[in-house]
Amino acid sequence: MSTEKVFEASPESKASAKQLRLFAILAWVLAMAGQVFAILKLIHDETLVWLIVAIVVILALAITGSWLWKKANRLDPASEQDKVRFFVQNQLGAILGVLAFLPMVILILTNKEISGKTKGIAGVIAVVAMLVAGVTGVDFNPPSVEKYTKEINEQTGTLKKLNLNTDLVYWAREGNKYHIYEDCQHIKNREGVSSGTVKEVWEKKGISELCKTCQARAMRENNVSEDELNNPG
């Protein structure tokens, strides 16, 4: 029987991811609305300054949406088995980041009613903003159920080597690392300390890193060498 621990986002993580995605969508909707306003009202010589301000605001909204969306994906990732969904879910920020500027860029560059100076300044700024929004929206290392499953099982194996064949860990409510020892200096006397397995801390909190202080202490107390720790067997 396989002992592989398969990652599944907890209800709490799914709820948090849903909330983050709603805020991300709101930011993107506002970015699109800002683009429509800029197209209808601001592509004129006399409103160049306000057009630039609008571009900056749209860029900030697009980047915020992408950041929130990526954070949600790390709490509730897609599976690599559904390739279309996996791509769209992880690269949606890049797609919408470009779309938040592309129509405006085209209209600025093709507008015959504005001067070459306005077209040059606004066009360059809009193109740069579009590229920035697109690049910051790309997830170059997208999370997935399969990646998390692999990491969980590798880390569980490592933890058992460190901790006398057990994978019990502790984590603080506001922390970003899990711990072998409940009395670790980084969580001792803190409120909201929970315990569970490596799989549970990944699923409930999205915490994926072992405390280095606990690791060094466990290696010392349990006589675990670097070679033993790094040996996959």
Question: Are 107 and 83 contained in the same domain?
Answer: yes
pLDDT at 53: 98
Least confident of 17-21, 45-49, 187-191, 215-219: 187-191
| Domain with 216 in it | 145-230
By CB atoms closer than 10 A (0-12, 13-18, 19+), residue 180 is buried
For residue 123, is it within any domain?
A: yes
pLDDT at position 105 = 97
| pLDDT tens-digit map of 88-100 | 999 999 999 999 9
User: Whole-prediction pTM value?
Assistant: 0.87
Across the chain, what does the average pLDDT equal? 93
Among candidate residues 137, 161, 187, the one where a domain is terminated: 137
Indicate the residue among 115, 137, 159 that finishes a domain.
137
* 74 CB-near residues (< 8 Å, 6+ apart): 143, 206
Residue 204 has pLDDT above 90, yes or no: no
Residue 149 in any domain: the answer is yes
How many domains are there within the chain?
A: 2
Residue 232 confidence (pLDDT):
61
Of the residues 81, 113, 137, the one at which a domain ends: 137
